[in-house]
Amino acid sequence: MDEHHEHQVLEAAWAFLRANSTASLRFSEHMQDISYVIAPNGNLVISAMVAMLQPGDTVMFVPEYVHDCMELHVSLQQFSVSEEGALADRWQVYHGEPPDTQWALVTIDAARFHELFIDGETLCRENPFASHEAEICKELNSNPDIVRNICASKTNVEVAEPFVVGVDPLGVDVRAPFGIVRIQSERTFATPQDILHLFRG
């Protein structure tokens, strides 16, 4: 595979990981459906069962265990709300009440996407808009009709009461009663203002 194609697949893998928020987690001999968020520094965050935190071969299948899913070989590191409360809060803003009382940071050791094996470090990317994210979300949520219309036009999904929960250069995450709706940017947002321009028309 030439370098250009490899780079394309890598960028597609990053966009795919960003665009989703659910996975099937295989640990020991078990499989459990989970939800994840991406922290500002690029790590994944999950609500974890105690059994998931035991040493062993742990694999995430994004968005679920199906043909052509993304396969992530991961390591889990437990953290407490007193240590990283903002990460637990971020997860709950996206997904609501957590199913478990433990929290874990997820480090991607390696990944497989479209038959290409990828170094996990290349999928841990900081969000350059992190310092502006709360402000942008607040402004977008002040105009729910516009968010609703953008959701319908860009994703063909009707969201009666949309709530913007995250932004990054590749898109906008909107919480709906049934899960997260991802509004993908047609071109990478260069600045936070680009996002606001999209929603202002």
Distance CA 194, CA 166 (A): 15
Q: Please report the pLDDT score of residue 199 as a whole number.
A: 86
Superfamily of 130-200 according to CATH: PNP-oxidase-like (3.20.180.10)
| Domain spans of the chain, in order of start | 3-123, 130-200
| pLDDT(135) > 90 | yes
- When the pLDDT of each residue in the chain is averaged and rounded to a whole number, the result is 94
Q: What is the percent of the chain with per-residue pLDDT over 90, rounded to a whole number?
A: 86
pLDDT, position 115: 86
In three-state secondary structure terms, 61 is strand
Determine whether 67 is exposed, middle or buried from the number of CB atoms within 10 Å of its CB (0-12, 13-18, 19+).
Answer: exposed
CA nearest to 103, candidates 33, 143, 172, 49: 49
For the domain covering 3-123, report its CATH number. Answer: 2.30.110.10
Contact 175, 152 (CB under 8 A): no
Which DSSP letter does residue 50 get? G
Pairing of strands 58-62, 116-119: unpaired
Whether the bond between 63 and the residue before it is cis, its omega within 30 degrees of 0, is: yes
What is the pLDDT, as a whole number, of residue 167?
Answer: 98
What is the pTM assigned to this prediction? 0.94
Q: Is 136 left (phi over 0), alpha (psi -120 to 50) or beta?
A: alpha
